[in-house]
Amino acid sequence: MRSSFRLFRIAGIDIGIHFSWILIFVLIATTLALGFFKTALPNVSTATQWAAGVLAALALFASVLVHELAHSLVAKARGIPVRSITLFIFGGVSNLEQEPEKPGVEFVMAVVGPLTSLVLGFVFWLAYRGMQSGSVASPLALPATGYDSVWAATLYYLAYINILLAAFNILPGFPLDGGRVLRSIVWGATGNLVRATNVAATVGRVFGWGFIALGVFWIFTGSLIGGIWIAFIGWFLSSAAETNRAEVTMREHLAGAKVKDAMVQYQDTISPQTPVSELVQGVFSQRYRRAVPVCEDNRTVGIVTISDVKGLPQDKWPTTPVGQIMTREPLYSVSPDDDLNTAMKLIAQHDLNQLLVMNQGQCAGLLSRAEIIRYLQLAQELKIKTPR
């Protein structure tokens, strides 16, 4: 996920947070401190209420991380590489390098998340009950306020929120875990992944619209913040369902297509010594290219793009060689006979605009996102069948 940074690794999986996580963390901690803990623990200091709010918010996201780890560890056990887990404004997401190839694998991967949240909720509830009954020593014993201690109140909240997360995630709307369970069932019954995705995504959009309607109702009945938040969740569900549906449909249409079917084949290359001004006038302006391979001694040594040129003041173009601004490494490439889905996966994984196409050690051309989209549009319009 873009705009995120890595924190640590667990079981070979990078754990990171998106910048939006900071916003939601502050919002949850503030809401807990000024709402739940202020009501549940009125006899403690304001500082203690805020400390409890921050602690509970951290524990909430730790629970979300455990939920996502369950998905990821099952995926790895089934041979599916997992790049990372990212915590963001709507919880967490496991970034898989490929989708499950069988409905049974997707079913197990999907259902383990809500089950993990349910188990966590049960464990927190047992701990809360033990602390309330006095069987667990508490260093922060309080007067009778409904909770025996700050820890008891925190455990109650974590039990409640994990059970709520399990219930929410099992809703049968894609891309929620319940939606993936639904997709796996339809996929297994029909043998058609695209049809199953369309069914699950449609249900997901219906749930999304339902949340939006509920949010609007709440707004007009006096619950402004809650209503906005519910509507925002609904919008996210609806848009995520449509995005996932489009991605699966695209992968299905690209299945069997080769890189050579979509790539631009040309012999334009430049040397590292070529002035940037010549690159702009001779390649970008005259031939309408946005990128060109850089070669030296019949060997590809880099790639230079319009974005590279944008970072250089125009008065320095005539005196600056391309070798100073080009991308040297890593150089990602595919061969003409590689599957287009493989190329798309590489582009998405490394957030690239184009790939080098190498044939027997020589640069045969470039493949960009735009060329893949153009090929897909043409194939759909002319109903071109690709070999399977």
Q: pLDDT tens across 121-173, in order?
A: 999 999 888 876 554 444 434 334 456 688 888 999 999 999 999 998 998 88
The beta strand positions in 2-161, using DSSP E, are 4-10, 13-18, 82-88, 91-96
Residue type, 43: N
Q: What is the dihedral of CA 254, 260, 266, 272, to 10 degrees?
A: 80
Show me where the domains of the chain are located: 4-254, 259-382
Per-residue pLDDT band for 246 (boundaries 50, 70, 90) equals confident
Residue 110 has pLDDT above 80, yes or no: yes
Q: Is 90 exposed, middle or buried (0-12, 13-18, 19+ CB in 10 A)?
A: middle
Give me the mean pLDDT over the 205-222 stretch. 90
Please, are residues 372 and 344 in contact by the beta-carbon 8 Å criterion? Answer: yes
Question: Is residue 296 among the annotated active site residues?
Answer: no
What is residue 267's predicted lDDT score, i.e. its pLDDT?
58
Query: pLDDT averaged over the chain?
Result: 82
Q: Averaged over 32-46, what is the pLDDT? A: 86
Q: What is the pLDDT of residues 368-381, one digit of tens each?
A: 777 787 877 776 66
Q: What is the mean pLDDT of residues 338-363?
A: 78
pLDDT for 143 equals: 38
Residues 6+ apart with CB under 8 A from 333: 355, 356, 357, 358
Please tell me the predicted confidence (pLDDT) of residue 136.
Answer: 43
Mapped onto helix, strand or coil, the DSSP state of residue 18 is strand
| Rama region for 355: left / alpha / beta (φ>0; ψ in -120 to 50; rest) | beta
**pLDDT, mean of residues 172-189:** 89
User: How is domain 259-382 classified at the CATH fold level?
Assistant: CBS-domain (3.10.580)
Q: What is the DSSP letter of 273?
A: T
pLDDT value, residue 290:
75
Q: What is the distance between the alpha carbons of residues 110 and 104, in angstroms, rounded to a whole number?
A: 10
